[in-house]
């Protein structure tokens, strides 16, 4: 058993060693294969690197790049550009803007590209050069991603001939220091220098000044030559020369000096102190060499139209106090002027009105107004309707104002010492406070009838809401059950009290409880609220019934009295008729056809005056103005009758009657 175990162990060890040997042999074979492959790739890699190095020497590159260039305005500019190993698109840029890839550069009439493109020559030409051509230029090989250095093109602009102010003959005053100014304008680049020469000799002592435009470019340059001329300088010739890099020789402007003197002016006014509305005469006198050539008058710097000579007449007003009158006298050399102001007396003139104010209660309020006058007016402040002076001077200050301070304030300028008119201006102060609510009269209402309650609201600022409230509810606007609210603008209150509103509460079908409770009217704004209670009065039907019954009783009493009097008169009339029957009979003359109707007759005269007897009604009788009886004639005078006065008795109801029957009755 031990031998077998030993053999087994020995056999296992041999098998392991054999497997390890096979793995080592396989690894060695792989290494040999990799080394062989690497030895074959090295020459290929070397050839590839050599080819790449050869290709690198043929990459696109610049053979010539543009340089900064300075060109005179109007000349031709040439910016060179040459490329090697590049046959693609070439373009130029101006301040970053591409000019195009074509040789003739369409759209740029003065630009083109020259040179042999096959040999890589791409030069940019500009002719003629203008000021806007001054920029930064760049040559680009777009397909190779190459850019040249930036070349700056500078355009030189030669200066124009300078201008000498007052030339070509400049008049100077002997012994008086003077300045002669030479000015160069235009777009000269670079900025020219200005030099002074006399008889070919440069003069020193000139002051150079340069004016710049908003863009930073030169607007103009000046050279001021200061000198004190003498008598031998008369006729001397001075030369101002403008020169620069663009024009080294420069351009000259010559002037001739003339020793003369400008006018010497004196100005007077008569009278110097005047009242507003009075006439004033100004006199302007001058001496000059050469003689005076003209006068010009001005007031406050504005020309006086039509004034030409040495005298000016005006009507003085307040403006002459602050706007002096000036007289300018001119001659061939120059001009001089003098001015004078008048002492004009005038009444107050309002320059700044006080402005209305609106402040909250408890804050300060300040008004101001400005008056001017000569002499200076006295300014006082009052409240409209009150003579008490609150302040003096241009400012009124009210501290911690309350609602009672609201109103109109008057700034008054009293007449000055001259006794001239005064003036006044006013402004309103509005005090912002909680609303003021007042109950308006409301008519009593019947039970179950309509009712109307009103309240008046004044508030500044305007109230945000007006609310009616009662025991079981409230209402701001619109309707709710038996209640309806309407709001109307109210007439303006006292000054500064703010806008007014009238709020109305309508009640349809009043109830018992409406007469016993109060209705609250409340308004509020940002400063608080105010309110009042409005009660509804009641109107009963019983007093009205009593009044109607009383009136009816009085009417019945009067009717009964009138009826009694009428009966009395009627009975008395019958008694009178039976007592004097004949007196109540009248005879009417015969009718037109000769026939007549007769009844019982009573002789009242001769037989030929007799006529028919007719009964008359005393109720138709009336008294005329003289107390005699007369009748109304329904026949309009067809019959002629006369009145009769019946006998009167102490117990008669009427003392006189008017007989309303045709004709006039003749009674004995």
R_g of the chain computed on alpha carbons: 65
pLDDT tens profile 294-326? 999 999 999 998 888 999 999 998 889 889 999
The enclosing H or E element of 24 equals helix 2-56
| pLDDT score, position 623 | 35
3-state secondary structure 562-594: HHHHHHHHHHHHHHHHHHCCHHHEEECCCCCCC
The correct CATH number of 163-259 out of 2.60.40.10, 3.40.50.2300, 2.60.120.580, 3.90.1150.10 is 2.60.40.10
| pLDDT score, position 32 | 52
pLDDT-derived band of residue 13, with 50, 70 and 90 as boundaries? Answer: very low
Give me the percent of the chain exceeding a pLDDT of 70: 72
Residue carrying the six token digits 């090697």: 84
pLDDT-derived band of residue 492, with 50, 70 and 90 as boundaries? Answer: low
Please indicate whether residue 351 or residue 11 has the higher confidence score (pLDDT): 351
Q: What is the C-alpha separation between 20 and 240, in angstroms, rounded?
A: 112
Is residue 544 classed as helix, strand or coil in its secondary structure? Answer: helix
DSSP state letter for 157: B
Please indicate whether residue 524 or residue 570 has the higher confidence score (pLDDT): 524
| pLDDT score, position 498 | 64
On the question of a cis peptide bond just before residue 315, with omega within 30 degrees of 0, the verdict is no
Given a contact cutoff of 8 angstroms between Cβ atoms, the answer to whether 291 and 310 are in contact is no
- DSSP readout, 637-663? SSSB-----PPP-TT-S-S-----SSB
Domain 61-156 has CATH 2.60.40.10: yes
As a residue count, the chain comes to 668
Please indicate whether residue 418 or residue 234 has the higher confidence score (pLDDT): 234
Give me the percent of the chain exceeding a pLDDT of 90: 36
pLDDT-derived band of residue 41, with 50, 70 and 90 as boundaries? Answer: low
Q: What is the C-alpha separation between 262 and 287, in angstroms, rounded?
A: 8
Strands across the sheet containing 261-270: 261-270, 279-289, 311-315
pLDDT-derived band of residue 480, with 50, 70 and 90 as boundaries? Answer: confident
| pLDDT score, position 638 | 37
pLDDT-derived band of residue 333, with 50, 70 and 90 as boundaries? Answer: confident
pLDDT-derived band of residue 279, with 50, 70 and 90 as boundaries? Answer: very high
pLDDT tens profile 145-204? 899 999 999 999 888 889 999 889 888 887 788 899 998 877 788 888 899 999 989 988
Mean pLDDT value of segment 92-101: 92
CATH superfamily of this structure's domain 347-431: Immunoglobulins (2.60.40.10)
| pLDDT score, position 613 | 33
CA proximity to 337, closest of 319, 324, 320: 324
Q: Which of 194-203, 283-292, 535-544 is the least confident region?
A: 535-544
Mean pLDDT value of segment 589-596: 38
pLDDT tens profile 605-659? 333 333 333 333 433 433 343 433 344 444 344 334 333 344 444 444 433 333 3
| pLDDT score, position 544 | 56
pLDDT tens profile 421-479? 678 999 999 998 898 899 998 899 999 899 999 999 988 888 888 999 998 788 888 88
Contacts of the segment 483-486: beta carbons below 8 A, 24+ positions apart: 483/507, 484/508
CATH superfamily of this structure's domain 264-345: Immunoglobulins (2.60.40.10)
pLDDT-derived band of residue 11, with 50, 70 and 90 as boundaries? Answer: very low
| pLDDT score, position 565 | 85
Residue 550 pLDDT > 60, yes or no? yes
**What residues does each domain of the chain span?**
61-156, 163-259, 264-345, 347-431, 441-535
Instruction: Print burial letters for 419-451: b (CB count within 10 Å at least 16), e (below 16).
Output: ebeebbbbbbbbbbbbbbbebbebeebeeeeeb
CATH superfamily of this structure's domain 441-535: Immunoglobulins (2.60.40.10)
Whole-number average pLDDT of the chain: 77
The enclosing H or E element of 343 equals strand 343-352
């Amino acid at each position: 058993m031990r031998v077998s175990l030993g053999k087994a162990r020995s056999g296992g060890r041999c098998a392991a060693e054999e497997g390890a040997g096979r793995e080592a042999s396989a690894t060695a074979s792989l290494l040999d294969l990799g080394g062989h492959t690497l030895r074959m790739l090295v020459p290929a890699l070397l050839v590839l690197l050599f080819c790449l190095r050869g290709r690198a020497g043929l990459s696109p590159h610049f053979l010539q790049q543009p340089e900064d260039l300075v060109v005179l305005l109007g000349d031709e500019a040439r910016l060179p550009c040459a490329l090697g190993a590049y046959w693609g698109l070439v373009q130029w840029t101006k301040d970053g803007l591409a000019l195009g890839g074509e040789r003739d550069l369409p759209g740029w009439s003065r630009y083109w590209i020259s040179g042999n493109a096959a040999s890589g020559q791409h030069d940019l030409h500009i002719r003629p050069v203008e000021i806007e051509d001054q920029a930064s230029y760049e040559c680009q090989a777009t397909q190779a991603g190459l850019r040249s250095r930036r070349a700056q093109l500078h355009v030189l602009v030669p200066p124009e001939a300078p201008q000498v102010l007052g030339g070509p003959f400049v008049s100077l005053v002997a012994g008086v220091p003077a300045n002669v100014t030479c000015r160069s304008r235009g777009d000269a680049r670079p900025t020219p220098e200005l030099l002074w020469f006399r008889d070919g000799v440069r003069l020193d002592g000139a002051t150079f000044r340069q004016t710049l435009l908003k863009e930073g470019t030169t607007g103009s340059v000046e050279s001021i030559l200061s000198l004190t001329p003498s008598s031998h300088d008369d006729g001397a010739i001075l030369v101002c020369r403008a020169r620069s890099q663009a024009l080294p020789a420069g351009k000259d402007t010559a002037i001739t000096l003339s020793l003369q003197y400008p006018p010497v002016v004196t100005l007077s006014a008569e009278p110097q102190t005047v009242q507003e509305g009075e006439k004033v005469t100004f006199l302007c006198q001058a001496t000059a060499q050469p003689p005076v050539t003209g006068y010009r008058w001005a007031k406050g710097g504005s020309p006086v139209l039509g004034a030409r000579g040495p005298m000016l007449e005006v009507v003085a007003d307040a403006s002459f106090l602050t706007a002096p009158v000036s007289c300018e006298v001119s001659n061939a050399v120059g001009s001089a002027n003098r001015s004078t102001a008048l002492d004009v007396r005038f009444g107050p003139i309002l320059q700044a009105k006080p402005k209305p104010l609106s402040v909250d209660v408890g804050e300060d309020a300040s008004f101001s107004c400005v008056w001017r006058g000569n002499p200076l007016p006295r300014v006082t402040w009052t409240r409209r309707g009150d003579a008490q002076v609150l302040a003096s001077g241009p400012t009124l200050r009210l501290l911690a104002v309350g609602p009672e301070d609201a109103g109109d304030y008057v700034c008054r300028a009293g007449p000055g010492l001259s006794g001239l008119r005064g003036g006044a201006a006013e402004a309103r102060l509005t005090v912002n406070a909680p609303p003021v609510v007042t109950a308006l009269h409301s008519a009593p209402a019947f039970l179950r009838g309509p009712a109307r309650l009103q309240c008046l609201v004044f508030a500044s600022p305007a109230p945000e809401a007006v609310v009616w409230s009662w025991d079981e509810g409230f209402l701001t606007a619109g309707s709710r059950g038996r209640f309806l609210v309407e709001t109307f603008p109210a007439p303006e209150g006292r000054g500064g009290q703010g806008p007014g509103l009238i709020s109305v509460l309508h009640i349809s079908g009043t109830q018992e409880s409406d007469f016993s409770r109060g209705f609250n009217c409340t308004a509020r704004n940002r400063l608080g609220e105010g309110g009042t209670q409005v009660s509804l009065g009641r109107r009963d039907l019983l007093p009205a019934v009593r009044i109607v019954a009383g009136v009816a009783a009085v009417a019945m009493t009067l009717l009964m009295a009138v009826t009694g009097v009428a009966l009395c008169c009627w009975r008395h009339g019958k008694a009178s008729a039976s007592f004097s029957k004949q007196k109540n009979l009248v005879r009417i003359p015969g009718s037109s056809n000769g026939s007549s109707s007769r009844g019982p007759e009573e002789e009242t005269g001769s037989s030929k005056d007799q006529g028919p007897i007719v009964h008359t009604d005393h109720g138709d009788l009336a008294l005329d103005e003289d107390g005699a009886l007369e009748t109304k004639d329904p026949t309009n005078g067809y019959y002629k009758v006369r009145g009769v006065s019946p006998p009167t008795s102490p117990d008669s109801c009427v003392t006189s009657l008017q007989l309303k029957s045709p004709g006039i009755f003749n009674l004995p």
